Structure 1
Amino acid sequence: MEHSQIEIIRSESKKQKPQTNQLEFGRIFTNHMFIMDYSVDKGWHHPRITPYQPVSLDPAAMIFHYGQTVFEGLKAYRTKEDKILLFRPEKNMERLNLSNERICIPHIDEEFVLEALKQLISLEKDWVPSAEGTSLYIRPFIISTEPYLGVAASKTYRLMIILSPVGSYYKEGINPVRIYVERNYVRAVAGGTGKAKTAGNYAASLKAQEESEKIGYSQVLWLDGVEKRYIEEVGSMNIFFKINGEIVTPVLNGSILPGVTRDSVIQLLKHWGVPVSERRISIDEIYESYQKGWVEEIFGTGTAAVISPVGELNYEGEKLVINNGETGPIAKKLYETITNIQNGTEPDPFDWTIEVN
């Protein structure tokens, strides 16, 4: 499929762009969206950019009944020189196909979808905000559309990309969050769908999240689904610990999402010569290390927040205060470095950013 094959239908009515101080996450959407369909006989076909609009589906469409869907999340940033940059978008396309594989959705042409995404952003570049900390959030997703109530993989699909200008994740600066160690509910298990970015994983997390918020905690720390001992993720983010001078993060095991920011953090730490390892790490090890005064920092990593420092863990009713409830130097340096690379204000030694013309 060629880049020139993308049909463009421009919107006749233009939405009013919001003020920067009105930006919330995922509430406002741009004028256009990208759509492409799949059928067994045609493969992926009819790529088009259309006005942003509701989607019409048969009530029996399989997405409604069996949840066969995957998605991605990435951002576009406006630099001081008025350039539009994407941060490692090829990794998101690659992960979309990894999710497709697990959920039995046909693979996409990663290069073509990335080019389509760039063309969509180029059309909507006025929607990329310029204020510090703001960006254009990009949501590619695929849904199963065959009208059939049999439990099987769908024979038809639709891929869509929608865009949403978003404000700074930290409106008052980067601040540590309070985390509840979850012992009852589990997010995913090895052999399940944890490594895929699919809707069901997030639906399964809502109950624990809701209950933790009722007692004053921002997120939950997920443990493994078998022994409920080994740390996996924090909320919908990957998690890192600085223990006695070494940075440790749970090894990818089939139930942990391979985060793009996670990978970027590991590469940066190695580049700086900071000891970093990926391995199994238990909540017991964290507790024992805390008692010895070895737990220096904890932080989550993800697209939305980039780095989210943890100031407190609630472990079986005991409050473990991390770094006096303050952001640690490694978390701060990682946040500033990654956001500066994304915004084009710091050298990009890894060639992570791609300019959209």
Structure 2
Amino acid sequence: MQQRQDDMMVRQYSFRWLKGALGPHTTIAGYVISALLLSVNAQAADTQNNIQPAKLFANLTDNCPTPDAFAIAPDGSLTLSCPNFANNKLQGELLSIAPNGEVAHLATIPTLNLTRKANPMGIAYDDNGDLYVADSRGIKHGRILKMSFDKNKLLNTEVIASGINPNGLRYRDGAIYITQLNMPNVKSSKNISAIYRFNASDRNVKVANTLDDEQLIFSIETQNPSIGFGLDGIAFSPNGTLFAANLGDSEVYQLTQDKHGNVTEHHLYASLPNDTRIDGLAFDDEGNLYLAGFGLNQIFKITEQQQVIKLADYSDNDGSNGQIDQPADLIVYQDKLVISNFDLMTNHGLRNSEHSKPYTLSYIELK
């Protein structure tokens, strides 16, 4: 069982669990002492495991219980997507985060005549300041959106494509790249996931969601039979090379593209333990690649020499003091690595034990 920590104070533990773990004759005082020892041990382990301890970057508002992806806005602020899977009564939102961590509402994702709320995940700005959004709400309703702003005022929203369930998203050289965790219309004994590429000028493209889709540029099987997900995080290196991460296999691939953007070959760039469950990817200007370890509250750095360094490794926590709490995405921002704490999934193999307040972003100093 993962123990929770909160500002070096012991939270209330389950006596039933402690009784089973410590024996039926342990006194109430024994429970308290044991809980204290467990909490201290967890924090000692966190201190030992964190080469660069994380700090609190921002406390988020109640309309963002599940923060996900980042993009740097034209004005230099951070834009954060909030799919809000933890509360389906909340709309999908975009927040604006100032360099000092101040939070402001940017926009609610329009449903555009669909009854179900939007679930914005991957986001990216183009050179003109327009924002592309991966609206992840299933094959029938999933879309890629283009949102145009005048400063912080939403002017227009257009549909680039539908018929897919996009997750990660990047923009480069007039094209939008998205990952799809699985391909439900493809029959296979193993999970199939894919990367799609659309032109920024595309509008209302209907995708069949098969391996024959014109816009599909790469697909792969997940070998881990216990995880029904594949390609998730996606990023371009400073020299324009495309990278993607397989959440199910905890692998990172380096992809080679032709002049049309099609992937002509790929090779394994890094492999981490299966329970890492790599989510978001981000590069710095020096070519170092950072990974969000969604499964175990971890952050990794891969150097250009492909050396894997674990920067952070947190026990179960609530993120109140900047601890990493189920990281979904990260971004290099003003000499900081800013991290979103998704803090929702509690399935087998995940270190996170429950969803709870506060809703936070963390950061790690890079210089």
TM-score by length of 2: 0.25
Structure with greater proportional helix content: 1
Structure number with higher relative contact order (C-alpha < 8 Å, ≥ 6 residues apart) = 1
Structure with greater proportional strand content: 2
TM-score by length of 1: 0.26
